[in-house]
Amino acid sequence: MPDQMRGEFQNAVGSSRRERKTLFASPWLLALQHELSSRLTSTIRIQEVGGYSFQLLSSHQSVWMVCQNPGAGQLAVRAVYCPGRDMEIRQVRERGRTIEIVASSLMGKIRVEIDFPDRERSLVHWTTRLIPTKPLIIPFWPRDIYPLDERGDPFQTGGEIFYRQWGQGSGSLLASFLQPPTGTFFYLQNLSSLNPYFAYTHSSPKDRVGGEWPEMGFALPPSEEHPLPPGEEITISDAYLHLSSAAPMDAF
């Protein structure tokens, strides 16, 4: 490992800390709990891959992917976010192991492709693209990974973050459930795919993958002065998630 990469990895690992219980709530965490614990979501598809169940759900503002290991905790992944709460699913298409979902909202057209590369491995890859209807600024964007307990409650979970992005390093995150004891997940955001977004908004990928338990993953960098252009399709997420029932002792 090159010295610079080793230093980035050690710094990122050194920033991890153990959190045995969720002690705080943000408006987005409360909204997540409300969406997933009520009848505000509808099921799009359910995929069984590598011993895990991946349930694709839609609400008025999000497309969720709830990953579950039978008899243990769950992981909710936000693949699409529309803050106007006016999202409508327009089309769902399947091509082999890929599911394409097209949605519309006041802010624009959203297209997400969710791919399961290997039926024997608990690996999923999704790419989310946005075509704005107007010059669009992004003053805030929530993270996209939320652990849940068996009943879908994020407030009854706890875990340890072994590794998160540090500075301009790779957009990755490694974390493990402690409560309930479920296993480990590795998340990678392909930040290179988002270069057009960073260029249009004059923003940086620095420190964009991280967070604190139970709100983790990637958040688009905000931009209040440099908008995304209307009518152009722009990638806003290109992520991979791998799940494992194993619980490592440390990041190495």
Could you read off the pLDDT of 37-55 as tens digits, one per residue?
Answer: 777 899 999 999 999 999 9
3-state secondary structure string, 48-105? EECCEEEEEEECCCEEEEEEECCCCCEEEEEEEECCCCCCEEEEEEEECCEEEEEEEE
Q: Which residue has the higher pLDDT, 218 or 245?
A: 218
Half-sphere exposure of 188 (CA within 13 A, CB side): 10
**Verdict on whether the full-model pTM lies above 0.75:** yes
Q: What confidence tier does 21 reach under pLDDT thresholds 50, 70, 90?
A: low
* Three-state secondary structure call for residue 107: coil
Rounded mean pLDDT, 190-209: 97
CB-count burial class (<10 Å; 0-12, 13-18, 19+) for 95: exposed
User: Which pLDDT does position 23 carry in this prediction?
Assistant: 65
Q: Is the pLDDT of residue 12 over 80?
A: no
1 pLDDT more than 70: no
Q: What is the pLDDT of residue 216?
A: 96
Amino acid 14: pLDDT:
47
Q: Which of 201, 243, 234, 207 is nearest to 53 (CA)?
A: 243
Q: Which 8-state DSSP code applies to residue 227? A: E
Q: Is the pLDDT of residue 8 over 60?
A: no
Least Cα distance to 111 among 133, 89, 130 occurs for: 130
State the pLDDT confidence band at 16, using cuts at 50, 70 and 90.
very low
Contact 19, 25 (CB under 8 A): no
The Cα 188–Cα 77 span in angstroms is: 13
Q: Is the pLDDT of residue 2 over 60?
A: no
- Whether residue 7 is predicted with pLDDT greater than 60 in this model: the reply is no
Between CA 212 and CA 197 the distance in angstroms is 25
pLDDT for position 15:
45
State both tokens at 243. 């799940």
